[in-house]
Structure 1
Amino acid sequence: MLLSHERSVLVVVDVQERLMPAVHEGERVVRNAGILLKTAALLGVPALATEQYSKGLGPTAASLRDLLPPDAIVEKLHFSAAYEPSFMNRLDALGRDQIVLCGSEAHVCVMQTALGLRALGRTVWLVADATSSRTPANAEAGIARMRANGVEIATTEMVAFEWLHRADVPAFKSVLAHIK
């Protein structure tokens, strides 16, 4: 099944200022999450972000905060956002059935959110190159477990071009500029 910008929601999980320096290739995660947020904005894909215990881990990375609507960030204490009523209320209100996830850490909050959403019957895509953990082994194990449990694995460019669907749409050149 292909992604549709009309059916998708982008969820950025816990890309927080104090956590990202410890995350393996954290700059890549922030950069690719930014590309996804810019593409989502161009194509009308709603975006949400979660923050795990922001008092300790800090807010969402500033470069991403600037790309999010003011009310898009949801604080959580559960590792899985699927168990946070405030997050699920926001997600359900959007009325979209394709959930595109990225963030950190792949083997904890991202995985638990993905598996929790799958348990609720949601279709979930993980953007692997916009996701990581403190160690590569943990990231790989989290991605493998998500794949084994029915989560579609994609890359930033796969998502962007599936959302675009065609090269002759007005947003194509702008999206291409973000990717390059």
Structure 2
Amino acid sequence: MVVDVQDRLAPAIADSQAVQDVTKTLLRAAAELSVPSIFTEQYPKGLGPTVEPVHQAATNAYVVSKMTFSAARETTFMDVLADLQCRQVLICGMETHVCVLQTALDLSVLGYEVYLVADACGSRDPMQRELGLTRMRQEGIRLVTKEMVLFEWLERAGTEDFRSLLKMIK
């Protein structure tokens, strides 16, 4: 799940390009491994669509517009999640301490296993990002990194998937 990596928000995010680069790698790997992807867009009329290079990294991603900070409070998003029959949700995006945080906490309360990709999350203010990460950790959200995710998805070396994704890791 990619939360609000949008045209008018992304330029204001500290280390935005690094967040986008990690997000693109995760999306390309997800596409290769047939892991479904969902994008949320907070008030796209005002903040624009998902940043094009990030959007292009995914194939067949669902896009859900929202006005609530937590995507879990949007019926359309929850319908998509139910249709995918996912019980685990991997989250990255912007802003860590607002939409990412509220979505992660709500999904956790609803019984989903929530994993936050810490190196693929950003906020305008680095302190807000750190406090958002701290709060999520305190609330039981599992913090992971891009490499943790990729190697867990792969499970083993020596496969075609491993060789393909290894290029993304290096």
Bin for the TM-score computed over the shorter chain: over 0.9
Alignment of 1:1-180 (within 5 A): 11-70=1-60, 72-180=62-170
The residue identity in structure 2 corresponding to 1:105 is: E
* Residue pair 2:6, 2:41 contacting (<8 A) in 1 also: yes
Unaligned runs of 5+ in 1: 1-10
Tell me the distance in 1 between the aligned counterparts of 2:61 and 2:165. 24
Tell me the distance in 1 between the aligned counterparts of 2:59 and 2:22. 18
For residue 70 of structure 1, report the CA deviation from its aligned partner: 4.9
Tell me the distance in 2 between the aligned counterparts of 1:47 and 1:160. 15
Partner SS, residue 6 of structure 2: coil
Q: Which has the higher helix share?
A: 2
- Identity between Structure 1 and Structure 2 (%): 49
For residue 139 of structure 1, report the CA deviation from its aligned partner: 0.2
* Residue pair 2:31, 2:59 contacting (<8 A) in 1 also: no
Tell me the distance in 1 between the aligned counterparts of 2:169 and 2:45. 33
* Residue pair 2:19, 2:119 contacting (<8 A) in 1 also: yes
Q: TM-score, normalised by structure 1?
A: 0.92
* Residue pair 1:48, 1:68 contacting (<8 A) in 2 also: no
Tell me the matched-pair count.
Answer: 170
Provide closer, same or farther for how the CA distance between residues 114 and 120 of structure 1 changes in structure 2, counting only shifts above 3 A. Answer: same
For residue 159 of structure 1, report the CA deviation from its aligned partner: 0.4
The residue identity in structure 1 corresponding to 2:76 is: S
The residue identity in structure 2 corresponding to 1:28 is: A
The residue identity in structure 2 corresponding to 1:52 is: Q
Query: What's 1:3 paired with?
Result: none
The residue identity in structure 2 corresponding to 1:18 is: R
Provide closer, same or farther for how the CA distance between residues 133 and 158 of structure 1 changes in structure 2, counting only shifts above 3 A. Answer: same
Partner SS, residue 117 of structure 2: strand
Structure with greater contact order relative to length (CA < 8 Å, sep ≥ 6): 1
* Residue pair 1:105, 1:131 contacting (<8 A) in 2 also: yes
The residue identity in structure 1 corresponding to 2:133 is: I
Unaligned runs of 5+ in 2: none
For residue 69 of structure 1, report the CA deviation from its aligned partner: 3.6
Tell me the distance in 1 between the aligned counterparts of 2:60 and 2:117. 23
Query: What's 1:7 paired with?
Result: none
For the aligned residues, what is the CA RMSD? 1.0
